[in-house]
Amino acid sequence: MQFRKAVIQDVDGIWEIEQSVFSSPWSRKQLAHELVANPIASHWVLDDGSSIIGFIMSHVVQSEVQIINIAIKLSHQCRGYGKRVLSEFLSQFNEKMYLFLEVRESNQPAYYLYSHFGFEQVDIRKKYYYDGEDAIVMAKMGNKIPTLLNLEKKRMSH
Ligand SMILES: CC(C)(COP(=O)(O)OP(=O)(O)OC[C@H]1O[C@@H](n2cnc3c(N)ncnc32)[C@H](O)[C@@H]1OP(=O)(O)O)[C@@H](O)C(=O)NCCC(=O)NCCS
């Protein structure tokens, strides 16, 4: 299992997952554009050697990282792959980077996954999605893993 930068050859694997897990998936053309032509794109895949198990897409501008999308193949969900993808993705950033994302209010799996890695709710965007659902904006500074965050909180409270 390898976590690596996404390349244009991954477009079909990403697209397949995208279509099966999102109600309003990106088109294959949009994904292909992201993979080859967007200068601020930083997209990654989890590859088991024969297929794409999951992916994370982001845009990076100076010290800001917007996570656009994370998804794990339906057949592989709830087995720790989401945590692995987010953990490997976050490990590349230092503590000065500001990371943020939007998540559907109803998307508990994603909300809990992000919370697990120290993301906190910072805002709500009303009726953000095409079907009228609100988006929760979540953010965190840097790449600190939960254990370190907890240790720091404990240290600060003494
Ligand atoms: C969100 C997603 C990436 C999580 O991936 P996953 O591989 O299933 O997640 P993991 O098995 O690594 O679980 C990680 C954590 O996510 C949370 N989680 C995962 N599935 C969950 C569920 N069904 N209900 C509640 N929390 C859940 C838990 O906090 C879990 O940690 P825990 O097992 O220690 O409690 C996956 O559900 C997915 O692809 N969803 C569809 C796409 C999507 O909605 N992406 C987010 C867009 S913002």
Q: Please state which of the four CATH numbers 3.40.50.720, 3.30.565.10, 3.40.50.11060, 3.40.630.30 is assigned to the domain occupying 2-156.
A: 3.40.630.30
Query: 114 catalytic, yes or no?
Result: yes
Tell me the three state secondary structure of residue 98. strand
**Cα(107) to centroid of ligand 1, in Å?**
9
Q: How far apart are CA 112 and CA 146, in angstroms?
A: 13
Domain spans of the chain, in order of start = 2-156
Closest ligand 1 atom, CA of 77?
8
> What percentage of residues in the chain have a pLDDT greater than 70?
90
Determine which one of 16, 88, 102, 133 is catalytic.
102
**Cα(18) to centroid of ligand 1, in Å?**
15
**Cα(71) to centroid of ligand 1, in Å?**
9
Beta-sheet strand order (sheet of 41-47)? 2-5, 41-47, 52-61, 64-72, 98-104, 135-141, 120-125
| Count of CB atoms situated within 10 Å of the CB of 27 | 11
The model's pTM: 0.90
pLDDT at position 88 is 96
What is the arithmetic mean of pLDDT over 134-146? 83
> Which residues surround ligand 1 with Cβ inside 6 Å?
21, 69-72, 77-83, 103, 107-110, 112-113, 116
Average pLDDT, the chain: 91
What does the pLDDT look like over 71-127, one tens digit per residue? 999 999 999 999 999 999 999 998 889 999 999 999 999 999 999 999 999 999 999
Q: Which of 66, 76, 63, 96 is nearest to 13 (CA)?
A: 76
